Amino acid sequence: MTHPLRILLGCATLVALGVGFVASSATAESLNLPKDSYKKAAEADVKFLQTRLADLAKKQKAGDRLLDGQIKPALGVALLVIAYGDALGDAPLQDNAMKVAEAIDAKDFTKADEWAKKLAVQPGMPAAAGKLPKPFKDDLILMAVMSPFRGGTVGGLNIERDIRDMTKMTNPAKIDPAMVEILAVRTAVINAYGFHSPNEKARINPANLKKWEKYSRDSIELSNQIATEAGKGAKADTAKIKSLLTTLNARCTECHNDFRDDE
């Protein structure tokens, strides 16, 4: 079973004491991934959020320094879980993930931790056209959802390094279809958010925007193919997965070369 996840166009209203979530009914980019794949990704990312936010809440209470590299991935993963809730027809998951995201944005990690503890994956019946709000301005959404690509000392999901390790010419990491299936769901949803949250360089002229959208579409389609193949489990063609991951890595590199600001 597949579900068309709708990342809706529209604007977000940021109010003084919180975040206003606003959705519109404009034309949307769609994803078509198996419901079971969304469920696996949701369960993995709920676990990540609960662990990360418990740690941040503890550090904030102790007065320890909180690093952006720990906070941004938490916000990014909360946005992914909002998307999973929509695709799974799991309204409580989606609503609670919105509250998590709101609390993270407000830097209230005790509250974020409390809401994260309420996260539970309970798939229902998705609507034909799910409504996924864009809770923040485009630049914040893009910064947040891209942060899970990173890992190491900055504390993301290590997506970029995992892809590169599995596609190395010599001594590549072994491809685990179960892990790759979740990775591919994440990259598909991240790129769907990215499609509707172009950065300043992409917005500067129509030609750049068209190129940005093509990179996003290509990456979504590649991610869909990877998730479908990896979802076959022991019967998955790992050579095909590696080839698709190699192409996905190339698209990411090309997009970064054209659009990513130097840091």
pLDDT at residue number 53: 97
Q: What's the first-to-final CA gap in the chain, in angstroms?
A: 41
The count of domains in the chain is 1
Alpha-helix runs per DSSP H in 63-176: 68-88, 91-105, 109-117, 138-146, 159-166
**Residue 197, both tokens:** 């949250």
pLDDT at residue number 133: 60
- pLDDT tens per residue, the chain (263 residues)? 445 454 443 333 222 223 333 333 223 345 778 899 999 999 999 999 999 999 999 999 999 999 999 999 999 999 999 999 988 999 999 999 999 999 999 999 999 999 999 999 998 876 654 455 667 777 888 889 999 998 866 688 999 999 999 999 999 999 999 999 999 999 999 999 999 889 999 999 999 999 999 999 999 999 999 999 999 999 999 999 999 999 999 999 999 999 986 54
Asked if 163 contacts 191 with a C-beta cutoff of 8 angstroms, the reply is no
Q: Comparing C-alpha atoms, which of 64, 65, 52 is closest to residue 101? A: 52
Asked if 151 contacts 158 with a C-beta cutoff of 8 angstroms, the reply is yes
Q: Which residues contact 223 (CB under 8 A, 6 or more apart)?
A: 184, 185, 187, 188, 191, 248
**Residue 7, both tokens:** 């990342």
Asked if 44 contacts 77 with a C-beta cutoff of 8 angstroms, the reply is no
The single-letter code of the amino acid at 2 is T
Question: For residue 254, what are the domain limits?
Answer: 2-148+157-259
Asked if 31 contacts 224 with a C-beta cutoff of 8 angstroms, the reply is yes
Distance between CA atoms of residues 120 and 194, nearest Å: 26
Distance between CA atoms of residues 90 and 253, nearest Å: 34
Integer angstrom CA distances of residue 7 from 24, 67, 108, 132: 10, 29, 26, 6
